[in-house]
Amino acid sequence: MIEYIFQAALYGSGDLYLAAEAELVKKKKKAGPFLAELPKRANPWEQRVVELLRQRVAGNADFNRCLEFFDRTEEETAPTAQGEPDPEWVGAVLFRDFGARAAPLLGVHLVKLEEVWPFWKTAGSLLYLQRLPSRETSVFLLELVLTGKSPHFRDMARKALLAKPDAGLAVMVEERLKEADQKAAILRGLAEELRSRPT
């Protein structure tokens, strides 16, 4: 059962991811040992998701405080004329209160929850990550560039990557290019087989 919930969290997004993460936290007595025994994953993005889940199950206090800040801010600003907080303010408060400590949480949630988060959460989290050193954020920003739903947020992430490039990012981009080339070769082969089939 824990394996199934973990797979839903690793590969799911939106409400499916949220439910799976919450279920792992709820079943922490079984989920903790299961997550601790997982081998390191070759895919840096997947490894970051695993690390986040381990910390969520362990009850990371900074992550809990960050999520409480989101809930409180949403509740306090909903009745106002604007109806939601200013993303610039959100990013600044997150940086002031957490430094880089909230990056693992917000980096994964930024990618996983883009489709269900309101604009201010996504934009605020992106603006927060932009303030941090690239070694803390490159994996998350690259994943958003590649899989994000919004062209606006993908472009913001791309610009953030270019603003603070590092050697680790170049290696990750090369690895993703290899994966893309392999998938393209499979698709080209399949397309050729389809074209050569007798009609």
Q: What is the pLDDT of residues 126-157, one digit of tens each?
A: 999 999 998 899 999 999 999 999 999 999 99
Confidence (pLDDT) at 137:
93
Beta strands in the chain (DSSP E): none
Handedness of CA 79, 81, 87, 93 (dihedral sign): negative
Asked if pLDDT for residue 3 goes beyond 90, the answer is: yes
Asked if pLDDT for residue 24 goes beyond 80, the answer is: yes
Of 92, 50, 52, which Cα lies nearest the Cα of 69? 92
Q: pLDDT by residue (tens digit) across 43-77?
A: 999 999 999 999 999 999 999 999 999 999 999 99
CA pair distance 181, 59, nearest whole angstrom: 40
Cα–Cα–Cα angle for 105, 150, 179, rounded to 5 degrees: 75
Asked if pLDDT for residue 199 goes beyond 80, the answer is: no
Task: State what percent of residues in the chain have pLDDT above 70.
Answer: 99
Confidence (pLDDT) at 187:
92
Residue type for position 178: K
User: How confident is the model over 73-101, as a mean pLDDT?
Assistant: 93
Residues 139, 48: contact at Cβ < 8 Å? Answer: yes
The per-residue pLDDT of the chain, averaged, comes to: 93
165: pLDDT confidence band, cut at 50, 70 and 90? confident
CA dist list (Å): 4 to 29, 30, 32, 66, 113 = 16, 13, 15, 27, 20
Question: What kind and span of H or E run contains 151?
Answer: helix 151-163
pTM metric for this prediction = 0.90
116: pLDDT confidence band, cut at 50, 70 and 90? very high
| Residues belonging to the chain | 199
123: pLDDT confidence band, cut at 50, 70 and 90? very high
Confidence (pLDDT) at 33:
96
CA pair distance 189, 195, nearest whole angstrom: 10
- Six-digit token pair at 167? 């050697």
CA pair distance 52, 56, nearest whole angstrom: 6
Residues 24, 56: contact at Cβ < 8 Å? Answer: yes
181: pLDDT confidence band, cut at 50, 70 and 90? confident
Confidence (pLDDT) at 83:
86
